[in-house]
Amino acid sequence: MGGEVHLDIYDDRLTITSPGGMYNGLLIQNLDIANVSSERRNPILANVMAHLDYMEKRGSGLTRICNETKALKGYKDELKPTFNSTPSQFQTIIYSSMTDKNVGDYDVDLSEIKLTERQQKILNLIKKSPSITAKQMSETLSVSQRTVERDLCFEGKGDSDARRQG
């Protein structure tokens, strides 16, 4: 019948959903990934792809995903990829090892920086919703997105030390 592979990219993970479950009908979440045997739906196609170096014939994909993820900087056991299947789909979730914080997650002393009223409103919006975007702030404040971005740079406000801190 055919179907589409879906890639869903989020801030903290990549989700890949493919049509078709496990060939043998088992559920991947009930199996030990290290012991999952490779069963190809189309061995002829698998052989051709292996000869072209587009894939390995031996079915090491799930273990390889786990090993490559484990080697990433910032990896923790709770970031281990997860695999889920149903009779009609297979899903792989790869979690981000990035430890970047949102702007609102930082506790910064702004007492020496002279802020405009709008900049203070922007900081309050960030404190209230750390993942708010510049576009959302611009809509809330009825100004352009570029104005919000410019205000976030704190340029031209206070002395040069304050600008370096901002």
Domain spans in the chain, listed from the N-terminal domain onward: 6-95, 103-165
The residue among 42, 38, 43 whose CA lies nearest residue 58 is 38
Do residues 114 and 157 lie in contact, with contact meaning Cβ atoms separated by under 8 Å?
yes
Structure confidence by residue, pLDDT tens digits, 2-54: 678 888 988 888 999 988 888 778 888 988 887 787 777 777 877 887 888 87
Structure confidence by residue, pLDDT tens digits, 64-101: 888 888 888 888 888 899 999 998 898 999 998 765 55
Contacts of 58 (CB under 8 A, 6+ apart): 38
Distance CA 103, CA 59 (A): 42
Question: Which pTM was predicted?
Answer: 0.52
CATH tag, 6-95: 3.30.565.60
Which stretches of the chain are assigned E, i.e. beta strand? 6-9, 13-19, 82-86, 89-95
Q: What is the pLDDT of residue 34?
A: 79
Do residues 92 and 83 lie in contact, with contact meaning Cβ atoms separated by under 8 Å?
yes
Length reported for the chain: 166
| Residue 160 exposure: Cα atoms within 13 Å on the Cβ side | 0
Give backbone dihedrals phi and psi of 66, rounded to 5 degrees, phi first. Answer: -65, -45
CATH tag, 103-165: 1.10.10
Distance CA 119, CA 165 (A): 15
